Amino acid sequence: MKRERLHHLDGLRALTMLLILPAHALAVTGLKQGWNDVEATLFWLIHVFRLPLFFLVAGFFAAHLLAGRGTAELLRNRAVRIGVPLVVCVLVVAPVLTLLLRSIAVVEYRPGAQGIAAFAHLHPSFVWFLWYLALLYPAALLARRLLLALPRARALLAGAGARLLPHPIAPLALAIPCAVLLYRQPTWTAGTPSESFLPQLDLLAYYAVFFACGWGLCSIGGLREKIEAAPGRYAALAGLALPPALALYLTQSEAAIGTSRWFHLLALLLLSVTTWSLAFGLLGLSRRFLRSPSPRLRYWADASYWIYLSHFPLMAAIAIGLFELAMPSSLRLAILVAATLALVFPAYGAFVRHGPVGRVLHGRRAPRARPEPRHGGTRLTRPRAATGRRA
């Protein structure tokens, strides 16, 4: 697969990561003063597609890396890019974040995690999705190995995927198992299992469906292009499913399980149709608007992982100061996002991109070549070094 065909997926992955800034700003605000309907709507609109789409793109790039470099390189790459940041965040960043959020929350946040005890009560915190990815990679390789030993089953599965995924009813068909897997969620949205390393198997399976879909989009020739060719179809379906799904989320105040299980499943079905429609539609829109190579977009794509990993404790520290000032909630949210980004983004270029942290996060990045001095009226330049692609 040629590199130029993946610019839009790199950009889409970066955008899904960067959306965590407003999502976490809303989460911090909610700990202090709750949400109004506008803030709850914004949080839901981000949450309804961001993580599922990220798991889908992660599955795609895992299959892409496997096809290009093999199993050993996939495992080595993900052990470094996923495993190392996960360990550092769990041991250092998450405890510091816990202490900061405890000073913000109105009700007690993580009882027992006070002072030095926060470093003993380890939990995945905001990098729980890295933990789930770490579980999904070996599971996907095991499933692939089993399918290689069963060529008939592999052919049937590939044929079913090639027929179903580009079909207009695909978001509806895929929404059914997803709604069932979300049945135990107390609200009509997917949970974020950040408090325990013991995976919630239904949520792990839910995100595994998106991961497997992304894997299939890479493995089955021409499949991704068919889906990306019809963003209008998915936008129309999302337009039908999103308003009632959002309305249910805003009006629900307690769990529906035990009162009307069928209505609960219907609400989750609307949620899942919205999620799949937005995910497929954004694939097509990214291909339409982000397909051309862009050094600026590439830089943001590289920086997005660092921004994700580093932003939350800094954001929480800024929020502590902002809550001392009287201002509209919307202004506080805007300042919180802008101030956090203004600090972590320049730090990437100054301290991270070409250093050891940058090599862990996305591999070595060659610095931009500078023109040589003119000699005898001839401007001698050194060709720009090629940069390796992040998978």
pLDDT score of 366 more than 80: no
Tokens of 262: 């069928």
Distance CA 166, CA 216 (A): 12
Which two tokens mark 183?
Answer: 């049945």
The Cα 374–Cα 383 span in angstroms is 15
Helix (H, G, I), strand (E, B), or coil: what is residue 300?
helix
pLDDT for 200 equals: 94
Whether the pLDDT of residue 294 is over 50: the answer is yes
Rounded Cα gap, residues 336 and 144, in angstroms = 44
What is the model's pLDDT at position 39?
A: 92
Any domain includes 79 = yes
Q: What is the mean pLDDT of residues 67-79?
A: 94
Distance CA(318)–CA(21), nearest Å, equals 13
Whether the predicted pLDDT of 41 surpasses 90: yes
Would you say residue 124 lies in a domain? yes
- Residue 233 above 80 pLDDT? yes
pLDDT of 141-183, one tens digit each?
999 999 999 999 989 999 999 999 999 999 999 999 999 999 9
For residue 374, the cross-strand partners are: 379
Chain segment 106-140, per-residue pLDDT in tens: 777 766 667 677 788 889 999 999 999 999 999 99
**Total domains, the chain:** 1
Structure tokens at 84: 């190392």
- Provide mean pLDDT across the span 66-83: 94
CA dihedral 387, 389, 390, 391 (to 10 degrees): -160
Q: Please check whether residue 254 lies inside any domain of the structure.
A: yes
Within-domain flag for 51: yes
Which residue carries 């955008």 as its tokens? 15
Asked, for residue 144, whether it belongs to a domain, the answer is yes
Q: How confident is the model at residue 377 (pLDDT cuts 50, 70, 90)?
A: very low
pLDDT over threshold 70, residue 36: yes
> 269 Cβ partners below 8 Å, 6+ apart?
175, 176, 179
Q: Are 127 and 52 in contact (CB under 8 A)?
A: no
**Other Cβ atoms within 10 Å of 349 Cβ, number:** 14
- Please state, rounded to an integer, the average pLDDT across all residues of the chain: 87
Mean pLDDT of the 362-382 span: 53
pLDDT recorded at residue 139? 96
Dihedral, CA of residue 234, residue 237, residue 243 and residue 245, to nearest 10: -90
pTM greater than the 0.85 cutoff: yes
pLDDT score for 371: 45
Kindly tell me the burial class for residue 158, based on how many C-beta atoms sit within 10 Å of its own C-beta (0-12, 13-18, 19 or more).
middle
pLDDT of residue 135: 97
Spatial CB neighbours of 360, under 8 Å, sequence gap ≥ 6: 80, 81, 84, 85
Number of CB atoms found within 10 A of residue 379's CB:
9
Collapsing DSSP states into helix, strand and coil, what is residue 220? coil
In a domain, 378, yes or no: no
Helix, strand, coil percent content, the chain, rounded in steps of 5: 75, 0, 25
Domain with 222 in it: 3-364
* Percent of the chain's residues with pLDDT above 90: 64
Which amino acid, 60? F
Question: What's residue 112's pLDDT?
Answer: 63
What mean pLDDT comes out for the span 279-292?
91
d(CA 219, CA 329): 46
CA distances from 240 to 6, 162, 243, 278 (A): 30, 26, 7, 11
Residue 236: CB atoms within 10 Å: 12
